Structures are given as C-alpha cells and as structure tokens.
Amino acid sequence: MTAVHLQGEVWMGSAPLIRNLSLHFPAGRWSCLLGPSGVGKSTVARLIAGLPGPYRMNGVVAAEDSLPLHGRVAMLAQLAQLLPWADLVQNVTIGARLRGARPDVARALALLENVGLAGVERRRPDALSGGQRQRVALARVLIEDCPVVVLDEPFSALDTVTRLAMQDLAARLLRGRTVILITHDPLEAIRLSDVAWLLDPDGTEALTLPAAPTPRDFSAPETLAAQARLLALLHARTLSPDPKDLCDAPH
C-alpha cells in the first residue's frame, strides 16, 4: 500500500491557485477533497496523477515510500472517456494496447463481470447508460492494478440512485487501495471517506466524519447530521466575502 503527501503551493500560470497546501493521504484508505467548483480540486487530482496542464506545484507531490508515483496512479474522471468505436473489452484493455503490451482479455472479461456487465462485453459505449459507462471506466482502472486511485467527480453526472450504487460498488472493488476522491457532494464525501478536507485558496481544513465504517448508510441519523453540518459550513463559506473584496468596495 502507498501513502501520498502534498506540501506547498499550486500555481495556475503566473497566479497562485492554492496556498499552504498540506495533505496526507493514508495508505489503503479513502481520502476526500471537498469544495466548491473552481477552487482547484481537479487540479490537485491531475497533479497526483501526473497529468500535464497549465499548473505547477511549488513543493512536493510524492509517495511516502520514496518511490516515484509515475506508473502507480490510475484515474477515474467524471466522464468515462471511452473510445466510441471500441467494444467494452477493448476499452478496458486500452492501457495495455497503448503500452504495446498484450491485452489480458480474460481478466478484462472477469472485471466486466465484477462490475455487473457480463453478457454485454462486445457492445460499444453508445449502447450503454451513463452508469454502465462509468462501470466500464471503473473496470479499466481496476485492470491497471495501481496502488493509488484518483477519482475526480466520477459519479456526479449520474442520477441519485445510480450514484449511490456506484459508490457502493467502488467502495467494494477499491478496498485496500489508496483512494483520493474529489467531489463537491457532501453526502458522497461523508459516505465514502475515512479522512476528508475542505479545500479553499488558503489551504485545507480537516473535516469531522462519523465513526461508522464506510460506505456509510445514507439514511443513518449520524450520516444525515454530518451532511447537514457540512452543508452549513459550505453555505457559510460561500456567503463569506473575501477580505480583498471588502477593501475594494466603495465607501
């Protein structure tokens, strides 16, 4: 298992995006970054995954075992990003094909069965529902067998019932891996996270989560109470003016 830590500042071009960033993602646990749109959650996800972009990290993004993160991180994004002309097996094994390796078709078929898609393996993505496409993307992550998995708003485009089912499925299939979940959904963060932080431009704030094991019952009183507290915190943060705005306001 692999723990990951980030320390420093994130810059977007010539401007700071997040200052005083200090995060520790414990090995084999689910960690969550929560915050409003535009605060930089997806940028942090892409930094961990080693993806290029108009941002840079002035500091450290590293695994605690001192080995490179490259090749040990898989990512599941909001949109499944499946190849429209390829069937499900071909989509699941695309990583091997891109590396010039022989695809493990038998394992791909087994994973598609694990995510509930047995019998439709030769269909193309346009024949699937949104939830089914995300199941294919999850199988594609699993076949890479990476110790670190970044989930960047993976279920936000799904209806509520499908989203809950996908959360339960991901929790089961990714158990034991270091999972970093990016979300703006308080209930999702509370259901799935072992540790969680609220992200803002000045850093992070650790959140208090219920003691119940994950995935937490969405209808349990402690889950609903934690969701209400987190919604109130997010609401207060949204309404709180930036001090710079107060200084610039006309008198």
Q: Residue 177's domain spans which residues?
A: 4-72+146-248
- Residue 163 within any structural domain of the chain: yes
pLDDT value of residue 237: 75
Q: From the CB of residue 219, how many other CB atoms can be counted at a distance below 10 Å?
A: 7
How far apart (Å, rounded) are the C-alpha atoms in residues 198 and 5? 16
Which residues make Cβ contacts (< 8 Å) with residue 187, sequence separation at least 6?
218, 223, 227
pLDDT of residue 13: 86
Least confident of 13-17, 212-216, 235-239: 235-239
Q: Find out whether 55 and 78 touch, Cβ atoms under 8 Å.
A: no
Strands 195-200 and 203-206: antiparallel
Region of residue 12 (left: phi > 0; alpha: psi -120 to 50; beta: else): beta
Confidence of residue 243 (pLDDT cuts 50, 70, 90): very low
Per-residue burial over 59-86, b if 16 or more Cβ lie within 10 Å, else e, is eebbbeeeeebeebbbbbbbebebeeee
Assign 248 a pLDDT band (cuts: 50, 70, 90).
Answer: very low
Flag whether 232 is in a domain: yes
- pLDDT at residue number 245: 40
pLDDT of residue 120: 93
Among 88, 78, 108, which residue's Cα sits nearest to residue 96? Answer: 108
Within a domain: 9 = yes
Question: What average pLDDT does the structure give for the chain?
Answer: 90
- Per-residue pLDDT tens over the stretch 147-204: 999 999 888 888 899 889 999 999 999 999 999 999 989 999 999 999 999 998 898 9
Residue 196 resides in a domain: yes
**Which tokens is 65 given?**
């075992």
Computed from CA positions of residues 159, 51, 177, 189, in that sequence, does the dihedral angle turn out positive or negative?
A: negative
The CATH number of residue 237's host domain is 3.40.50.300
Domain count for the chain, please give it: 1
Identify the DSSP state of 232.
Answer: H
pLDDT for 78 equals: 80
User: Is 102 domain-assigned?
Assistant: no
Q: What is the pLDDT of residue 240?
A: 57
Helix then strand then coil, % of the chain, to nearest 5: 35, 25, 40
Domain assignment present for residue 228? The answer is: yes
Residue 44 has pLDDT above 70, yes or no: yes
pLDDT, position 250: 41
First vs last C-alpha separation in the chain:
56
Residue 91 maps to a domain? no
Does some domain include residue 122?
no
How does pLDDT run across 88-128, given as a tens digit for each residue? Answer: 999 999 999 998 999 999 999 999 999 999 999 999 999 99
Look at residue 239 in the predicted model and tell me its pLDDT.
Answer: 62
Which of residues 234 and 87 earns the better pLDDT score? 87
